[in-house]
Each structure stands twice: as structure tokens, then as C-alpha cells.
Structure 1
């Protein structure tokens, strides 16, 4: 199964980073049809988000389950095997080589795109150094991207600033998902390696993740449509 997007709307991933399923349900109702994929992260997962994710999937919505799996090989393999039964479209794995190989082993023939998380877009070179890595954030992203391709992953999560180099590095088949995307004039919030939607697409991203500029807007649907327009103009 190809996980490449077909339309500009397909390319927009909206995180449902809110405290309750009720709030998430409202956001979906206000943006349905203007968003390609809904992302369910840790905040909502611990507030009933997993059954809600399955509910949305049964309704035909594409769901990005952002769990960032990292554990011993058998645990990761079995977790992926169960997630593959939930109807999700994407799931995240920390991009450690052994972890990614275990995730791929648990995939079997399921229509689930495994995404290797390279370096969080809230981190910069100093953060990477403080975590014990010798090189820069970009160097670590590149090495993990190569490992993701070798492991047989479906794609990677990276900063839009690295998308161009990574596209050349990993080829056309791997899906590139880029958080840290902010429309022109929007606050960067806690993101450090950011780019606009249009620039991210031009750099080689397949999907962009844009959250607070949409969920925090007075008119969420209009905000989502504006981001899609920026994407379309860049295609």
C-alpha cells in the first residue's frame, strides 16, 4: 500500500492535543474534510484517546497514532502487531535501529505506515549534546534516516529544515512527515526547527503537522483551509 498523499488536503496532519475526547471530537467536527489526517498523541491517549482513535478510523478518517514506541525488541514487535489491528494509518517508533527492525517484524502485511522519529523538532544542537550525542541535530537525523530506510520503515519524522537533504538521502519511496510547521506570522511556540507549510512542501515533505495555529484559531476550519491553500500553492 502506498502512503503517499494525493491532494493538498491529504498532506495536512492535525494534532488533537487537547485534554479530553469531547474537545477532540469538537475539533474533528469543525475541521472534517479540511484535514487529511488526525494525530492522536500522548496527552489524549491517556484520556480515552485510543478508543476514540479507533472510532474515527472506523468512520474512514486517517489516524496518526503518535506513541513513539521504544522498548525491548519483543515488546515493540508485539505492540506493533496489536496497533496494526486498530485501523491506524501511521504510528511512530523511536528511530533506534534495533527498535525499528523489531517494529517492522511486527508489521506482517498490515496496511500501517511505520514512521521513525529522528530528532524531536523541539530540540536543537545544544539539546542533542546534552542528551549525550557527539554530533549536531542534523547529523543525528541523517544517521537515523539511513537506519530507517535500511530497517524497512515506511517513513520518517523530521524537521522541515532537513526534508530536502533527507529526500536526497533516502530516495522518493519513504514518506517524510514534518512537524514544526507554522504559517507565516504564527508563533513558533516550543518548536525550534520550524518552517512555513509552503516551504516545507517545497523542501520535499510529504505531510506537514500543524497544530496550535489551527486548534487555537477562532475559526478552526478557516485556519485549516488556509494552511491547505499554502500547501497547494507550493505543489
Structure 2
């Protein structure tokens, strides 16, 4: 993940306040979104929770890694994104541009009210439905019928996110320590192993964290982790 850019401090005697250059990039706020990744044949399905705003740009390095590891692209499920602004749409457009450069696609398979409304207002929805049958794209929240059930489902998914994200971060730490990987490389190893073993990312992370408590990994998973780490040219 990129670190926030900080403004330079003034070195004049007249003021001790930070000097902000007109051309200095604004610091990126913390990311309030999280994601889960599931391999799906030649594509990767990415489910996002939380808010897509300026801070969600911090997800781009991981999304680019997932895109690289896929054969044909990424399918996004955005049902439980509770807030989305133009910065969030720009993140999606950045990912799409990156995909086109690799001859791949990014589609929005499902979206909630927040994302769907903004995609419609900005006229960008069709950019994420290329090659997708209209009936296979689902947009939630266009009416209030069943809203209570949708809210309960969203709360359940958000609780699951709070439980699984720390596990994924711990698993990355274990891989960093075991194979001498950078945080980015450890993420790539997790995603690649998830894809090669057809295992959900959070399940794989949980199994890996369990080894620190005396558990063992299935032989196939252990081999795939080792192979994925060995394939990366990352200095210890």
C-alpha cells in the first residue's frame, strides 16, 4: 500500500507552521473499504465492502496485483458498498484502464444503491458491462421493498469483514517472515495460492494463521504457497 504524502515543513524563522506547496499532492486519507477475492475460472471475483472515496485509492496496488494474476480480468461485486463518490468511481476507472492495457476487462456484476446511482449519473455504467449479458448484472436498492432484509445482510457482511481482514493481514505477516517477502509480494502469494487451490482468500488466510498455533496446511496448499513465493523475484 502507498504511504501518504506529507507536505514539507517551512524552514523560515518567521513561522513554524507547515508550508504547503500549491503543487504538493494532498495526503490520501485512510481507506475505509476492504475486499475479498475468489478465483472464478479465468477471472477473479472481488467483493468490496465499506466506502469508495479518496482513501480507496490505497486499494489500487492490491487490485492491480489481482488483475495481473487473472487470465481475463476482474468481476466486481459492490452490493455492500455503502458510500461512493467521484473519487471512488475514479478508482474503478483507473482499474479498468489498467486492465485494458493488459487486454483484460473489469465488470461490475452487482452493485448497491450508492454505486449504481453514481455510475448512472456519470454515464460510466456501460464501461463496466462490456461483454456482459444485461440480465446477469444485478443492482440492489432501487426500491424500498425488502430493504430491511438487505440491511441485515449488509450488517452481516460487514461483521464478517471486520473478522476476516485482520486474519488476512496476519497471514501476510507470516508469509513475510517465512519467505522474506515484502507486504506487496506476500499479498500476491496469497492471491495466487487462492487462485491455484480454488480456495477463498479469507479461508486460506485462516488456515495459514492456524499454523502459528500448531495447525498444518494441506500438502497441496503448502506446495502452492512455496511455489508462488519462489516464483517472485523479491529480495529478503
Q: Under a length normalisation based on structure 1, what TM-score does the superposition of the two structures give?
A: 0.36
Q: Greater relative contact order (Cα 8 A, min sep 6): structure 1 or 2?
A: 1
Greater Rg over alpha carbons, structure: 2
| Higher helix content, 1 or 2 | 2
